[in-house]
Chains A and B, each alone.
Chain A
Amino acid sequence: EDQVTQSPEALRLQEGESSSLNCSYTVSGLRGLFWYRQDPGKGPEFLFTLYSAGEEKEKERLKATLTKKESFLHITAPKPEDSATYLCAVQGAGTYKYIFGTGTRLKVLA
């Protein structure tokens, strides 16, 4: 059964304090791994898609990496506006279904 586990559930950082969020997954043939950001009361907003182990993508202070078993979302020198819930999702080969993790709630303190 395809599964996604995110850790930690919640993370508090001081402004400028870099850290990483983890997304562990099991899937029958990874078609794609996705990272989303969700602000309170809003729908998730797309950040990255990763397709194969070793791939990396960057956007401003965020960098996503992928191995065969997990993905990391690295946040460098975060700012309070980076506070949100970060969601990870996978899509397996031969399916149109996306499986989401429960998310990491990030709070960046000024």
Chain B
Amino acid sequence: NAGVTQTPKFQVLKTGQSMTLQCAQDMNHEYMSWYRQDPGMGLRLIHYSVGAGITDQGEVPNGYNVSRSTTEDFPLRLLSAAPSQTSVYFCASTLTGEETEAFFGQGTRLTVV
């Protein structure tokens, strides 16, 4: 049982490049979400999904796109990377999204130069 798997673990991008952070879960969870974690800022919600085909914005959605074509996968796309997007990104899933514990991936450390 792998839980939540994020790839890659580390990535360096040049300003203006695009990339996709991958997230997969094998627990048949309905709810998945993406956070970024910056020093002194805590975890901030970027986008979330309550099921396949349904996504919505969190606190800091600008510059990021998501889609949810399957229950298992929830990729996060950076359209045109900027230095301000240098951060550690976490994907999380919960069974229903209501009052349930979240399972987090190991994170992706992204540096934009």
Binding site for B on A (CB under 8 A): 4, 31-32, 34, 36, 41-46, 49, 51, 87, 89, 91, 96-103
Contacts and interface: CB of A to CB of B under 8 A. Distances in A.
Nearest to B48: A96
Contacts of B106: 41-43
Interface of A, secondary structure class, is strand
Given A96-B48, A97-B48, A46 B42 contact: no
Contacts of A103: 42
Contact of B104 (A43, A49, A91, A101): A43
Given A41-B106, A102-B41, 14 more contacts: A41-B107, A42-B107, A43-B90, A43-B104, A43-B106, A44-B102, A44-B104, A96-B31, A97-B45, A97-B59, A98-B102, A100-B43, A100-B44, A102-B42
Contacts of B75: none
Contact of B101 (A42, A46, A96): A46
B22 to A, nearest CB: 15
Interface string B26-67: 000001010100001111110010100000101100000000
